[in-house]
Structure 1
């Protein structure tokens, strides 16, 4: 609600600013143009007077009459006496809304030319009021348009979120169906109590194994659901270089047979969720530990360029060729047998992709120069 109010106020400010700049420029430009026109007329009469200063009064009266100018003409003596020779329809010499010329003539006298700009100033005031009314209506119109667009966008987001949730629920149901079937089968088998002790113990072990797998699977599904929701993750400034070093050290302790080379830029800092970025790195390194030969080489790179670039690659068997460059959608699995062999849920890639998408990054799978899989990520810098 606060965000919507802030956006509405911003829309009003932008609309008002543009209206004032454009409308104000037009109104003031028109006003100045009319003032300039009055000045040009005064200049014309003044120039005519200067052509024959000895007969200045006659020339001035003739020029005003011939050009049909609505000017006041006055004669002023050196001692300050002023005589009105011609008076316009609305000009008073003591008025404020005047454009005036003082023209010196022989013997210390001067002619005073004056033109009223009362009507011009009134027109300016009227136009300013019109501009104010226009700004009010423009803001009302902009608010209505913004509200309609916001509502349309909100409905579109709601539909997209609902469709995404339906797809997720469908994928989740599909993922849970296999372990549920296994659990149900063994439960029925144990219920009959027709197994000898050895087979019964093996059945209980298998049942326990599937229940643990379901627990892991549900945990991964919940994480994917959380990553798919808006506004429920706290972001902070993270030293991704330090986070990567810590995880590489942990990996070397757990899997000392994997030779690891790391190139980590110390200035790599971004804004994100440490919890989920930690999970991303752990998933990538765990995949290497579980799905590559013990002696496979590992290379970890973190570069601080225009964006933060992270590459985690290995010399293992990699993925099927068709999988490189393929976009991960939903609960994507590249090799179902790998999760069965290692006891995983098979959702590691989907979680990694979801983490990076939530951080407005780009997640790419490609063939590594080492021969195996390279996971490359681009994330915005802090």
Structure 2
């Protein structure tokens, strides 16, 4: 069943229930009020009867009240005589058993003509019956019921038409939303629907659908970017692995002709084989580390890490390995964060390894570590050659070497910055590359604090 017809049926059902309830209550109340008025008349006359001559006094009281009261006598022979007719000339036509059924209690008697009657026992097995015809009251009640039925039919028609008219705009919106949902599911239409102003629940549904469309578009765009990055990553990884494999294959073929190979050339070939194998090991190790960080992201990182101690260990190694390097050390003691201890150690090691690999041995370095309003900040800068300007705006890419000076021969896999970026992101932080005040590269890391 269509929603609009369902609304119309619901409105009709509610209209029927409300109208019947109100109409029944009103008609019943009016009819019962009239019956009570009749019963009050009969009761008043019965109370004022003269016990010495109840028949005569009943006729007198009926005449005095100028009412529809009928006075009848049921004699000992079982015949019913109307002593006084009603104001409009009606007589009591009830049967003897019906007349006796109201003995001592007001009841509705009669079959064709109905009365409210009260019977009194007299001497010599006779009975006095006081009755008031109520067919006019019942006729009024029946006419009111007919009017209620007519009103109900008109109200139902009005409710049906009004419901269809009032719900038509929202029903059309729902139909458009359903069509849009089908288009979205089939991928034909990803446009956002113009939402009308107002508080309609259908408008809220349209807003929610637009929000879902934006989310799906964002997710689809993200999936496409990730797919593209994955393709680039696989291609770069294949290229990076192919180069040492080609070198290894060449030297293996060279060693295969060892009969004619001089000892010096043989030693050189073995040395190059070892170098390329080590390079492949580093590349595979970096790839595994990146995969590990990706799997752990969003997991529980609850190691209490003394970042100050880890940084000072690397500073000590840097000063020991490069004694001619000027180092500006500003490390706050006891700086703690929650996270993965092995990954944070790898992060700090990569930062200082990057300095030793790419900055001259006498290039100055500054290291600042401390708390700030929202967390922990680590800034490391050097006086080396730095990076091209576009490298600071393009962001970190996997297997990216920012210039030719950072070549494969320096020992890097091109994944160092990617690993650092992944570790910082894993801990909810940010890593920014920029020019240092010494003219080289500055790495600025911010990691937010979180409760234990």
TM range (shorter): 0.5 to 0.7
Further displaced range: 269-278 or 326-335: 326-335
What's the counterpart of residue 256 of structure 2? 191
Unaligned runs of 5+ in 1: 1-149
* Alignment of 1:209 onto 2:275: yes
Q: Kindly state the Cα deviation for residue 179 of structure 1 after the two structures are TM-superposed.
A: 1.0
Q: Is the 8 A contact 1:363 1:377 kept in 2?
A: yes
RMSD of aligned Cα (Å): 3.2
Task: Find the aligned partners of 1:230 and 1:160 in 2 and give their Cα distance.
Answer: 21
Q: Is the 8 A contact 1:280 1:352 kept in 2?
A: yes
Q: Kindly state the Cα deviation for residue 278 of structure 1 after the two structures are TM-superposed.
A: 1.1
* Alignment of 1:221 onto 2:287: yes
* Equivalent in 366, 380, 387 of residue 312 of structure 1: 380
What's the counterpart of residue 447 of structure 2? 379
What's the counterpart of residue 368 of structure 2? 301
Q: Kindly state the Cα deviation for residue 151 of structure 1 after the two structures are TM-superposed.
A: 12
Tell me the SS of whatever aligns to 1:175: helix
What's the counterpart of residue 175 of structure 1? 240
Task: Find the aligned partners of 1:212 and 1:326 in 2 and give their Cα distance.
Answer: 30
CA gap of 1:170–1:219, structure 2 versus 1, over 3 A, is same
What's the counterpart of residue 93 of structure 2? none
Q: Kindly state the Cα deviation for residue 314 of structure 1 after the two structures are TM-superposed.
A: 0.7
Tell me the SS of whatever aligns to 1:250: helix
Task: Find the aligned partners of 2:298 and 2:275 in 1 and give their Cα distance.
Answer: 32
What's the counterpart of residue 319 of structure 2? 252
What's the counterpart of residue 344 of structure 1? 412
Task: Find the aligned partners of 2:276 and 2:229 in 1 and give their Cα distance.
Answer: 28
Q: Kindly state the Cα deviation for residue 192 of structure 1 after the two structures are TM-superposed.
A: 2.7
Tell me the SS of whatever aligns to 1:330: coil
Count, aligned residues: 239
Task: Find the aligned partners of 1:214 and 1:355 in 2 and give their Cα distance.
Answer: 22
Q: Kindly state the Cα deviation for residue 329 of structure 1 after the two structures are TM-superposed.
A: 2.5
CA gap of 1:151–1:344, structure 2 versus 1, over 3 A, is closer
Tell me the SS of whatever aligns to 2:396: coil
Tell me the SS of whatever aligns to 1:338: coil
Tell me the SS of whatever aligns to 2:406: helix
Task: Find the aligned partners of 2:296 and 2:412 in 1 and give their Cα distance.
Answer: 28
Q: What per-residue deviation string (whole Å, max 9, x for no partner) do you get for residues 55-85 of structure 1?
A: xxxxxxxxxxxxxxxxxxxxxxxxxxxxxxx
Q: Is the 8 A contact 2:339 2:427 kept in 1?
A: yes
Task: Find the aligned partners of 2:317 and 2:428 in 1 and give their Cα distance.
Answer: 27
Calculate the TM-score normalised by the size of structure 2. Answer: 0.47
Tell me the SS of whatever aligns to 1:300: strand
Q: What per-residue deviation string (whole Å, max 9, x for no partner) do you get for residues 258-310 of structure 1?
A: 12112123363222112111111111111111222221111001131113111
Tell me the SS of whatever aligns to 2:393: coil
Task: Find the aligned partners of 2:244 and 2:424 in 1 and give their Cα distance.
Answer: 28
Q: What per-residue deviation string (whole Å, max 9, x for no partner) do you get for residues 86-112 of structure 1?
A: xxxxxxxxxxxxxxxxxxxxxxxxxxx
CA gap of 1:283–1:347, structure 2 versus 1, over 3 A, is same
What's the counterpart of residue 395 of structure 2? 327
Tell me the SS of whatever aligns to 1:325: helix
Q: Which has the higher contact order (CA 8 A, sep 6+)?
A: 1
